[in-house]
Amino acid sequence: MIKIYHNPRCQKSREGLKVLENSGKEFEVVKYLEEVPTKEELRKVLDCLAITPEMLVRKNEAVWKENYRGKLLSHEEILDAMILYPKLIERPIVINGGKAVIGRPANLVEDIL
């Protein structure tokens, strides 16, 4: 089943959701600010994306700049930060099978459908 980690307040995330809606395929919406992923779920997302935790962080968020920027953090510490402050997680993330994309721009979502 296709899954989208979605933030309804984010325009880019809404655009990614629209691509899924227009595809006619079934999918699951995870509002990750309300249903914060576990560390294990984040690890699986990172595996599907084939990126490091730091590459999934929204580094322009104030909470990142105020608390983490410039610090040498382990992957575990970055995962902990994303769980503590889920708005740090890039969005939208769309997973289909063992593959995933960060849907920025939204047309990247089409690549894994």
Q: How far apart are CA 74 and CA 108, in angstroms?
A: 29
On whether the CB atoms of residues 24 and 42 are closer than 8 A, the answer is no
Catalytic residue among 10, 29, 73, 112: 10
Three-state DSSP at 31 gives: strand
On whether the CB atoms of residues 4 and 30 are closer than 8 A, the answer is yes
Give the helix/strand (H/E) hosting 85.
none
**Residue 10 among the catalytic residues:** yes
On whether the CB atoms of residues 90 and 104 are closer than 8 A, the answer is yes
Three-state DSSP at 64 gives: helix
Residues with a catalytic annotation lie at 10
